[in-house]
Amino acid sequence: MERTGLIGPYYRMVERRVARATFDVFDDGRPMPPPDLMMAVSGSAGQAWFSQRGQVDAAKFMGLARKHGLTGPLEVLDWGCGSGRIARWTAPDIVAAGGGFYGSDLNPKLVAWCEKNLPGRYFRNGLRPPLDLPGEAMDLVYAHSVLTHLTEPTAIAWLAEVRRVLRPGGLALLTFMDDRYSERWGPPDVLPKLRAEGFTVFNNALEGSNYMSTWMTPAWFHRRAEPAFEVLEFIPSGVADIPEQAVAVLRARA
């Protein structure tokens, strides 16, 4: 199906079926996207999970930003914002504090929903750079599970683009699926390849979608981030019952 190009329509059909099966209702007092838009980014249309995990991930990102010295009004980019799972929690606070909030995504339907329902400015990005932003305009760029759906050349190009839009001293918080995540949650043949090569792709088709999954080691990430970034820390993936990706904390060099 990958060779014939039929994998795209088939995968979208599977997504629609899963959306119907996982849909639930949960009211957190904030705008909630429709099931198909949740499904497109989360692999589920469960509103409770969408809300609760979005709040958890938002708290993690903003807590890391404060830990590493970002305070006051901030210019923030949610790269790969999807249907606003995290932006629903971060954007209101950033804008209320006098900062600027931006979100970008490959899917124009997701961008349109965020633009209509959430504070900030939202725009579409391509599969490859650039972003519709000037250089050195952001204090913080965060991305949850974006690099996890890209080939190696595309991922490397995006690391350079993230550095371009960050001010010197700005932070990039980027999640990825490391060897620990692979050992706990990955397909059986991923971990040996990852340990041997540092970077591997599973289901090498539909780049930029949830169908493709990309795995990388902290060593690969460190090598590719230098010299544009100072690598402040790697937070390894969680191994509890809920999958939790590793986080690279990078500071843009002058």
Whether pLDDT at 94 is above 70: yes
User: pLDDT of 129-174, one tens digit each?
Assistant: 999 999 999 999 999 999 999 999 999 999 999 999 999 999 999 9
Domain assignment present for residue 63? The answer is yes
Domain assignment present for residue 138? The answer is yes
Cα distance between residue 44 and residue 21, in whole Å = 9
Domain assignment present for residue 33? The answer is no
Tally of structural domains, the chain? 1
pLDDT (average), residues 237-253? 89
Domain assignment present for residue 73? The answer is yes
User: pLDDT of 188-225, one tens digit each?
Assistant: 999 999 999 999 999 998 899 888 999 999 999 999 99
3-state class (DSSP) for residue 234: strand
Cα distance between residue 247 and residue 144, in whole Å = 9
Residue range of the domain that includes 222: 54-252
Q: What is the residue whose two structure tokens read 């705008």?
A: 31
Domain assignment present for residue 32? The answer is no
3-state class (DSSP) for residue 191: helix
162: left (phi over 0), alpha (psi -120 to 50) or beta: alpha
User: pLDDT of 33-78, one tens digit each?
Assistant: 998 898 888 777 788 889 999 999 999 999 999 999 999 999 999 9
**CATH number assigned to the domain comprising residue 166:** 3.40.50.150
pLDDT of residue 39: 82
Domain assignment present for residue 23? The answer is no
Cα distance between residue 204 and residue 206, in whole Å = 7
The half-sphere exposure of 181 on its side-chain side, counting CA atoms within 13 A, is: 23
